[in-house]
Amino acid sequence: MITDWTLWLEWFIKALVIIFALLIGFAYLTYYERRALARMQTRIGPNRAGPYGLLQPIADAIKLIFKEELSPAKAYKFVFFLSPILTLLPSIVIGAVIPWGATVHWFGRDINLYLADINVAVLFFAAIASVSVYGIVLAGWSSNSKYAMLGAMRSTAQMISYEVALGISLTPVILLANSMSMREIVEAQRSMWFVVYQPLGALIFWIATLAEVNRAPFDMPEAEQELTAGYHAEYSGMKFALFFMAEYQKMIIVSAILAVFFFGGYLGPGEAQYPILGPVYMFAKIMILLFVMIWVRATWPRIRYDRLMSFGWKILLPASLATVFLTAVGILMFDVAKNALWMWFIPVSSMLVFAICVIGVYQALRRLTYERV
Amino acid sequence: MPQIEEASYAKYKHLVSERVLTGETMLLNMGPQHPSTHGVLRLVVELDGETVVNAIPEIGYLHTGIEKNMESKTFLKAEVMTDRLDYLNTVGNNLAYCMAVEKLVDLDVPPRAQVIRVIMTELQRIASHLVFLGPFGLDLAAMSMFLYCFREREYIMDILELCSGQRMMTTYFRPGGVWRDVPEEFEAAVRDFLKIFPKRVDEYEALLTKNPIFLDRLVGIGMLDAKTAISYGVTGPMLRASGVDWDLRKARPYMGYEEYEFNVPTRTTGDTFSRYIVRIEEFRESMKIVEQGLKKLKELAGQPTLSANRRFVPPPRAEIGVSMEALIHHFKYWTEGFPAPKNSVYSAVESPRGELGVYMEGDGGPKPHRVHMRTPSFCNLSVINEMVRGHLVADLVAILASVDIVLGDIDR
């Protein structure tokens, strides 16, 4: 018999677990990134604090907590304090709707391995994720620094150009799953991951999320080499750590979302019998997707922000509209003709669109390069 | 605490446009502490949004007074300071300086020493271009390039250490030849490097030259036409990228460069990409020269590496123990130095960055009356305002990196 207060207790515990998982995940993601980057760059990476440098994130955290908090002389103090919080909160809030697994039976009761299964989770994600850009813009504006202001400007321009494509690239998922609930999206992938049906959509979503979390090659708002640190140039100590935290937690979150939307979320062999395997699969998928982000950072130069805007508007947006159209056509024809081959029309046609995009970009660049060189 | 000086209109009034006054454009202080100014360069950048209207380099933050200091040192002791000028081209600075001294006192250099000098300067050219390429990648946020380049640079640093006992500040070349012959392991070490390096250059090209984002950042950015380049005195890879086939190694051969077979890579566009690709091709040309140098070195085995003109070179170590005259000469040589005639000379070499010239004036005593360095970074940097106008801040960083400045070279 589930009483009211036990339900509250369960929610409370689950919320705590998610928050702490994200906090610790953030700390060890920095370690993971530094080690992986170091391996790719013929270095060793942090290896002094603790065995294999495992205590390095903790040492970093202690350093940041005890560091002096500076704020520029003419900064708007209230907003200056508020913006790190504003940046960090959304990334934690999104954690509420991510399904980490199905339902397990523990302590004589069914426990859902997710905090909330709201029926508009996709919209919830899109809405909350874009809030954090306010933190960045306000941080850049309130620090009264030219570099920070330029970073904030870039982040605004960037957000306008990728957010549309990000939102539209979610539509094929909704069409395929016929639901906006994250849990139902995952369950709809039991037969086949959506990345197989809609590879182009997954790619667009992934590119847009790279811009969303300000990761290379779209890290213009904080371009170290150009704007010294961009919007958080004037932040130090724990306030800086909050920005840092927000960025890495968002990395975890968008990887989780990508896994949920396109890579079957918590699904995996044996998960149906043992639902507790769900979080394990989820964790493994997130790690792999995070690795790809780190890999990209080690390899690619930064794109220029006007190029990101034209890329977002001229390529990502039309391509994502095409995926929506093709997915809709495929599903409609499948319903009408009752022929499973129509489902395979979606990936084939979207790969064609992808090929057209790649060839177009490649040709344009080739013309640009060989005419001049 | 003193107020940090803001980039103010009053000081740069004659250099920036009047739109700054009305607040239409913004003055941004880039440097001297900025990750992409390659040392302590300060750029006062006038920005319209993120478009660069003017970029005014302000130098002097690394002023060392080396030129002035040399006047109070004997010729040999002054040479040690040349290492500190362009710290990425230490051997090349020694070469330019030694050639000036040799010209001033009319001193011959034995052929084996010439070959060693050529091999070392070409290796140093590769090392210097590696330090161009690494930070160039880093400035475009291809951060792994930086570490790959420094990995290969270690080979050359090891070779320098093998020969001179020092990794950077070698002072390996001396007036009249080189400090001592190369050790036995030298050839094997250089051959090892020559075996590895071509593959590594291909790797760099796979990472950068074939990367669409990289091309997008470079092609058509920071155009510099040949006329402007010449009028500003731009030399080196920057000039060759603008279509002028001018390389002192070919145009005014020294140290027997006319006997080596190599090409001078040029491009006609003069954008950031051609400045990059010219340097990449110079890697391969320098390797060719080193290869030929090793062959010559074998032919000249056993020959002296220091001039026989004892007036200007120290006696060999073995003689000091048995000859009183040699001992006296050794003492006088290192304490008093050798006198130079009252004359003035100019000699120039092709450093990795361009024409590195040394103007030297003797006054009959053992110390130079005046030494002036015509450094390539200084002239190359002065043209930056012409190149960055109308580009974005991100391009400014790329263009500045493609100039390949060394601040020690600018602020003598």
> Model confidence over B131-190: pLDDT tens digits?
999 888 888 888 888 899 998 899 999 999 998 888 888 888 988 888 888 888 898 999
In this predicted model, what pLDDT tens digit does every residue of B37-52 receive, in sequence order?
A: 777 888 888 888 788 8
What pLDDT score was predicted for residue B290? 92
What kind and span of H or E run contains B348?
strand B343-351
> What is the secondary structure of A291-359 as a DSSP string?
HHHHHHHHHPPPPPHHHHHHHIIIIIHHHHHHHHHHHHHHHHHHHHH--THHHHHHHHHHHHHHHHHHH
Handedness of CA B395, B399, B402, B405 (dihedral sign): negative
Structural contact between residues B101 and B362, judged by C-beta atoms closer than 8 angstroms: no
Q: Do A368 and B215 touch (CB under 8 A)?
A: yes
Q: State which CATH number among 1.10.10.60, 3.40.50.2300, 3.40.50.1980, 1.10.645.10 fits the domain covering B66-309+338-411.
A: 1.10.645.10
- Name the average pLDDT for chain B: 86
Does the interface ipTM go beyond 0.85? no
Between CA B124 and CA B153 the distance in angstroms is 9
Helix (H, G, I), strand (E, B) or coil at B355: strand
Residue B320 in this model has a pLDDT that exceeds 70: yes
Between CA B398 and CA A304 the distance in angstroms is 11
Structural contact between residues B371 and B85, judged by C-beta atoms closer than 8 angstroms: no
What pLDDT score was predicted for residue B121? 92
Whether B196 contacts chain A with CB within 8 A: no
Between CA A101 and CA A28 the distance in angstroms is 22
Helix (H, G, I), strand (E, B) or coil at A103: strand
Cβ-nearest to A301 among B50, B140, B220: B140
Cβ-nearest to A150 among B50, B277, B396: B50
Residue B9 in this model has a pLDDT that exceeds 70: no
In this predicted model, what pLDDT tens digit does every residue of B93-144 receive, in sequence order?
A: 999 999 999 998 888 899 999 999 999 999 999 999 999 998 888 888 888 8
Q: Do A146 and B137 touch (CB under 8 A)?
A: no
Cβ-nearest to B140 among A41, A43, A302: A302
Residues 6+ apart with CB under 8 A from A153: A140, B49, B50
Q: Do B144 and A40 touch (CB under 8 A)?
A: yes
In B, which residues are within 8 Å of A306 by CB distance? 392
Burial class (CB in 10 A: 0-12, 13-18, 19+), A108: exposed
**Quick one: tokens of B34?**
């900025």
Whether B26 contacts chain A with CB within 8 A: yes
**Quick one: tokens of B252?**
């005014």
Whether A338 contacts chain B with CB within 8 A: no
What pLDDT score was predicted for residue B386? 85
Q: Do B35 and A228 touch (CB under 8 A)?
A: yes
Burial class (CB in 10 A: 0-12, 13-18, 19+), A5: exposed
φ, ψ for residue B34, nearest 5 deg: -145, 140
Whether B392 contacts chain A with CB within 8 A: yes
In B, which residues are within 8 Å of A297 by CB distance? 143
Q: How far is CA A150 from CA A137, A226, A232, A332, in A?
A: 10, 10, 11, 47
Between CA B180 and CA B300 the distance in angstroms is 15
| Top-ranked range on mean pLDDT: pick from A302-306, B11-15, B363-367 | B363-367
Whether B142 contacts chain A with CB within 8 A: yes
Structural contact between residues B405 and B41, judged by C-beta atoms closer than 8 angstroms: yes
What pLDDT score was predicted for residue B3? 45
Structural contact between residues B265 and B282, judged by C-beta atoms closer than 8 angstroms: yes
In A, which residues are within 8 Å of B393 by CB distance? 150, 226-227
- Give the CA angle between residues A22, A27, A30 to the nearest 5°: 120
Residue B2 in this model has a pLDDT that exceeds 80: no
> Which regions in chain A score pLDDT beneath 70?
1-3, 221, 223-225, 365-373
Mean pLDDT (whole number) for B55-82: 87
Q: Do B213 and A300 touch (CB under 8 A)?
A: yes
Where are the domains positioned within chain B? 66-309+338-411
What pLDDT score was predicted for residue A3? 64
Residue B274 in this model has a pLDDT that exceeds 60: yes
Beta partners for B344?
B361
Between CA B282 and CA B280 the distance in angstroms is 5
Between CA B125 and CA B293 the distance in angstroms is 14
What pLDDT score was predicted for residue A373? 43
Chain B residue nearest residue A38, CA to CA: B144
Residue among B55, B26, B32 at smallest CA distance from B388: B55
Residue B11 in this model has a pLDDT that exceeds 70: no
Residues 6+ apart with CB under 8 A from B345: B100, B103, B104, B359, B360
